[in-house]
Amino acid sequence: MTCKDFLDMCLCLDIETSGSEIVYHLGAVRGDVVFERKGRFDLQSSLKELDDLARPAQYILGHNILGHDLPILESQAPHLELLNKPVIDTLYLSPLAFPENPYHRLVKDYKLVRDSINDPVADARLSASVFCDQWNSFAALQGNEKDIISFYHYCFSDSKGSSFRCEGLTEVFAALGAESISENEAFQIFEGQTQGKACENAIAMVSLKYLLDPEKRPALAYCLAWLRVAGNNSVLPPWVRHRFSDIVPILRELRDIPCTNPSCRYCQTTHNPRFQLGRLRGRSFLFD
């Protein structure tokens, strides 16, 4: 499946609201069909038309729609059928697709980088463009390290009852070719990918603690994405740490608390002042 094939199954959506959350501009794109309402329009009848347009779509796609657009639509028209469709929020995919850079080229923090002001149709199309870049990044990763995509798929599965609607992300990874893996396989992938980048003792404890809880697994996905490039210029966006509060304690357990195991190379180097001093002086005292 190509990115275009997947986008053909999506309604790309964006809305603009005033400070009082009054909807004054609607924009959506499904294939070649463009929907737009702005200025003075009847919101309820317009939302019914939008719902009709969304009916053939399998997914609703947009940027930060879980945090902005969909909650507002639900407050205005909770009966909309589109609210029950799987959601693909490109905001949540960016830190996984581009962990080596704090922000995607079209995304600054949690906002789209626009070349126009208050244009939901343009933003809906821009979300699709961001998604295609993300898709291509994941496809390359699937070709080189397919276990990573399978791990992400596992972390965003079993979301029923979760406070985070991630079924759409699960289906993205499945469409990319992710395999369904067991808890034990997920543990092995996380352990293998974090070797040398975290405390070996903590890796086992953190994996067991968080992989067992579907509510906490998404945080592990973002931690793994960051750990794979840690030490470069990667920075976890603030909104990720805020939205997934387990990320900070996970990384603290993995990297900030030294163990006493002499075979743990991470702790014996990172938390060894003599070794770090040796690095600064151009030599190591570790094995003196």
The answer as to whether 149 is a domain residue is no
Q: Same domain, yes or no, for 92 and 200?
A: no
pTM of the model: 0.89
Amino acid at 26: L
DSSP string, 69-92: IHHHHHHH-TT-GGGGS-EEEHHH
| Domain-ending residue, one of 88, 118, 144 | 144
Q: Same domain, yes or no, for 11 and 140?
A: yes
Q: Domain range holding 51?
A: 3-144
> What total of structural domains would you count in the chain?
2
Q: Same domain, yes or no, for 134 and 216?
A: no
Q: Same domain, yes or no, for 14 and 75?
A: yes
Return the CATH number at 65.
Answer: 3.30.420.10
The answer as to whether 78 is a domain residue is yes
The answer as to whether 213 is a domain residue is yes
The pLDDT value recorded for residue 195 is 87
Q: Same domain, yes or no, for 271 and 187?
A: yes
Among left, alpha and beta (phi > 0; psi -120 to 50; other), residue 88 is beta
Among left, alpha and beta (phi > 0; psi -120 to 50; other), residue 141 is alpha
Q: Same domain, yes or no, for 10 and 137?
A: yes
| Domain-ending residue, one of 144, 160, 175 | 144
CA angle 108, 31, 95 (to 5 degrees): 25
The pLDDT value recorded for residue 82 is 97
The answer as to whether 158 is a domain residue is no
Q: Same domain, yes or no, for 135 and 203?
A: no
Residue pLDDT, tens place only, 56-96: 999 999 999 999 999 999 999 999 999 999 999 999 999 99
The answer as to whether 55 is a domain residue is yes
Q: Same domain, yes or no, for 74 and 126?
A: yes
Q: Same domain, yes or no, for 129 and 188?
A: no
The answer as to whether 50 is a domain residue is yes
Q: Same domain, yes or no, for 260 and 135?
A: no
Residue pLDDT, tens place only, 212-227: 888 889 999 999 999 9
pLDDT in tens, the chain (288 residues): 899 999 999 999 999 988 767 898 999 999 999 999 998 899 999 999 999 999 999 999 999 999 999 999 999 999 999 999 999 999 999 999 999 876 777 787 778 887 667 789 999 999 999 999 999 999 999 988 989 999 999 999 876 555 678 889 999 999 999 999 999 999 999 999 998 889 988 998 888 888 888 888 999 999 999 998 876 666 788 899 899 999 999 999 998 888 888 888 888 787 766 665 655 665 544 444
CA 208 vs CA 110, 201, 212, 276: distances in Å: 31, 12, 6, 31
Q: Are 218 and 166 in contact (CB under 8 A)?
A: yes
Q: Same domain, yes or no, for 193 and 136?
A: no
SS3 for 34? strand
